Amino acid sequence: DTPAPTATPMPDRTKAEQFCDTARALIDLPYTRGGTSEETGFDPGGFVYYCLNKVGVKVRHKTSKGYSEMTDWMLVESMDDLEIGDLCFFITPGNEAVNCVCIYLGNHEMIYPSSGKGAVIVTKINTDYWEEAFVFARRVF
């Protein structure tokens, strides 16, 4: 028996790049709990919802945990296997379930609305903090 693949062998790079470009255009917009638009600002779930819909992936608004449960998207179990556009899921200190979703941009960078910084930021994923908090990723494209 061969194990089921955990990532699509040929990701749709064009769509993934459009997704990342959409996200990058939102850098510095405010973090707002429950926010889902450029006008209101974003929280991580609202940010993913907005960016996916902008590139034609029609999804309902979910929390970070809700998106982590989208089993029709391929599972990526290791940070070493990330491709641009992958959704990375984290359990940050003090939480017991997935509470953060970020979009992987490539080159060990990801983008998300940071409650701590109060804005959409790009940060390195290959730090002790994020490596310890990483649960898995999902490949939408």
Name the band, by pLDDT with cuts 50, 70 and 90, for residue 11. Answer: low
Mean pLDDT of the region 16-44 = 97
pLDDT tops 90 at residue 3: no
Name the band, by pLDDT with cuts 50, 70 and 90, for residue 13. Answer: confident
Q: How far apart are CA 8 and CA 19, in angstroms?
A: 17
Q: Is the pTM here over 0.85, yes or no?
A: yes
Handedness of CA 37, 25, 101, 114 (dihedral sign): negative
Contact 87, 7 (CB under 8 A): no
pLDDT digits (tens, 9 = 90+) for 105-137: 999 999 999 999 999 999 999 999 999 999 999
Q: How far apart are CA 93 and CA 101, in angstroms?
A: 14
The two tokens of residue 108 are 């060990």
The DSSP code for 9 is S
C-alpha dist (Å) from residue 119 to 40, 93, 96 = 12, 20, 24
Amino acid at 71: T
